[in-house]
DNA sequence: CGAGGCCTTGACCGCGGTCAATGCCCGTGG
DNA sequence: CCACGGGCATTGACCGCGGTCAAGGCCTCG
């Protein structure tokens, strides 16, 4: 179970086995149920998550009260409400489980202590930030150059698991289209 | 002249004077004229820039051939075509001077050598990435929650210098609206 | 078994994109 | 110095994508 975490960590930065043991020991487990809130709006994000099983998402509430999904994590992926996690200010983003899920998490304190002590962890954090930047960059490009239908087709090709496992309502907010429009797109 | 650079660096990471001297010595100067290309599409970005005077932007070309401005740097700000700079792959983004400009730049090689050697520079790079992420995050939020007019008003309030110094064509592509629409917005 | 949320479908409409015409500014060369 | 040309800004007419509102059916969960 922990080995999946180690594999992902080692994929991102070249940790040796001793480092992986040390790091894995800092992760704690967390079970949560479908629709359970892991981080509420206004709370400060003090954990960085690994999804062992299940799926979680981050989202914010727009001025009309609609949920806008920013980031979706399925099994074996990592992430958090990064803005609040970095700034340690109250978060505008929420984190929510989309399915019953088994998570591992490391606290902000341990995360940044590692960042002081372990050069491979600095490298890890740099790569997390670089990947987050690349992800956002691609999202912006999709938003400004693709139609609603093309954005849907892009996910269909590049990440079909999302379409199978995520509700239409959440998927629509992730693609920045209305549920009604998504429903029409799916039926051609 | 160099002191403005040092001030910005020290604002981002807590360098001491000796470190600032060492870093500043790695920056080289570059003059460029209005509309001059600093990085062309397909070239790999090997420099990180500081704008002493003038203004530059990064943009990419969409499938219809339109320029889409990603990032604008006025006097005393820093940046580059970050995706290519990080990956050292050919860039989809171009960099172009919008006015006659005086730049300083550090090479990719020196940048990442510092990143190995100087812990405050690691910190600097981390903060650059964090700020880049926050910037993108805000841009996505604006794109998905604000109308064209509201996006224009946001820049008008938060960064009025952009509207004064940047051509309507570029500003429009930065805001992701058509020049025609921007022209109509400006005249209420 | 009932209630509430989600999905789907229909009707309507408005924001902002597209195309076209005109005028202006500015840089360039004769 | 002026004449010309090209790019940019502006304005008008038109239109289509996708948002909004509403209604009905289905599934899930208490």
Q: For B118-164, what is each residue's pLDDT tens digit?
A: 999 999 999 999 999 999 999 999 999 999 999 999 999 999 999 99
Is the distance between the Cβ of B22 and the closest atom of strand D smaller than 7 Å? no
pLDDT value of position A1: 64
CA-nearest of A133, A129, A138, A102 to A12 is A129
Average pLDDT along chain A: 96
How far CA A134 is from CA of A90, A183, B83, B87, in Å, comes to: 25, 29, 7, 10
Which stretches in chain A have pLDDT values below 50?
none
pLDDT value of position B69: 97
Interchain pair A140, B145: CB under 8 A? no
Beta-carbon contacts of A157 under 8 Å, excluding residues fewer than 6 positions away, are none
CA-nearest of B94, B97, B11 to B54 is B97
pLDDT value of position B13: 98
The answer to whether residue B1 scores a pLDDT higher than 70 is no
The gap between B176 CA and D5 C1' (Å) is 30
Question: Which of the nucleotides in strand C have any atom less than 7 Å away from a protein CB atom?
Answer: 6-11, 15-20
The answer to whether residue B16 scores a pLDDT higher than 90 is yes
């Amino acid at each position: 179970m922990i080995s999946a975490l180690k594999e992902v960590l080692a994929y991102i930065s070249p940790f040796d086995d001793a480092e992986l043991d040390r790091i894995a020991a800092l992760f704690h487990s967390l079970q949560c149920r479908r629709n359970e809130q892991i981080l509420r709006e206004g709370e400060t994000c003090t954990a960085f998550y690994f999804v062992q099983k299940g799926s979680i998402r981050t989202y914010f509430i727009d001025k009309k009260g609609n949920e806008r999904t920013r980031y979706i994590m399925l099994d074996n992926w990592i992430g958090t409400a990064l803005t609040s996690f970095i700034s340690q200010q109250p978060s505008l983003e929420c984190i929510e489980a989309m399915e019953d899920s088994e998570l591992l998490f490391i606290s902000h304190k341990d995360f940044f202590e590692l960042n002081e002590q372990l050069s491979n962890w600095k490298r890890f954090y740099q790569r997390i930030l670089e990947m987050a930047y690349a992800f956002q960059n691609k999202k912006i490009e999709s938003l400004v150059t693709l139609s609603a239908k093309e954005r849907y087709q892009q996910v269909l090709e590049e990440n079909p698991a999302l379409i199978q496992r995520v509700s239409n309502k959440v998927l629509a907010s992730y693609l920045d289209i209305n549920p009604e429009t998504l429903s029409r797109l799916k039926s051609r």
